[in-house]
Amino acid sequence: MPQNHDGQFKSTCRNFITYDIIKKTFFSLVYIDFMQIEGYVNIYCSDLKQTDMHVQAYNHFFKNNIKAKINYKKIEEHDRNIMKHPNLPFDGYDWFRKNLNKKINKKDHICTSLISVDKHEKGITKEQKDALLSCFGEKIINIGDSRNFSSTNEVIDKLTILAESKCFIGSSTSYSHMAPIFDTPSIHMNSFWPYNGERLWTREFLCDTVNGTPIGYVKQ
């Protein structure tokens, strides 16, 4: 048990909710390992197949010294109110880096994952996405969706690209939050004009709070 953490977590932290989010799966596993939790632990997820891919990818990249017996369960509505584990310990990112199974060699490219504004307000427009990708050319690799993987190999391949990239630049996704695990600088971006995903008042213009469109802006 790490000396600088409260021992109560070892006995009380038994439930983790990950849904089908790979970052939550990785952070839950490292927390169980880092805190040296023993006995039975429940990980609730919305897709058991996706979570199994996440776990296999985790074991591919990192040494696994987990002592707990983990039960992976399909989350039900009443499970959403169970006690969740605390945030990743402050030195958790260092733990990841120290426990890598292999050496990461940075390559001469960056990677991205871009959400469309049609799916989430933190995304960008198609025009902005196309402009970004065209400007970087072959130096940027679009690793796509951080969910709905088709196989464990796809998860491993995409995380390998993230690990080997000089930088991640894109939407706030599991990839952007996992980049520090591999010591990859991470830059978040969202649309500011003509679609303002931040929904903010600015000195330049005021946005419609419903759809994010600048007031007075006429789409061409």
pLDDT digits (tens, 9 = 90+) for 6-49: 454 555 578 888 889 999 999 999 888 888 888 999 999 999 99
| Fold (CATH) for 110-188 | Rossmann fold (3.40.50)
Percent of the chain with pLDDT over 70: 76
Instruction: For residues 167-171, give the mean pLDDT.
Output: 95
* Average of per-residue pLDDT values in the chain: 83
* pLDDT exceeds 60 at position 78: yes
pLDDT grade for 205, boundaries at 50, 70 and 90: very low
Instruction: For residues 54-75, give the mean pLDDT.
Output: 95
| DSSP state letter for 88 | P
Can you say whether the dihedral through the CA atoms of 29, 175, 147, 171 is positive or negative? Answer: positive
Cis peptide preceding 180, ω within 30 of 0: no
Between 141 and 13, name the one with better pLDDT.
141
What are the start and end residues of each CATH 3.40.50 domain in the chain?
110-188
pLDDT grade for 204, boundaries at 50, 70 and 90: very low
Instruction: For residues 72-92, give the mean pLDDT.
Output: 67
Burial label for 121, CB within 10 Å (0-12, 13-18, 19+), is middle
Residue 38: strand pairing partners: none
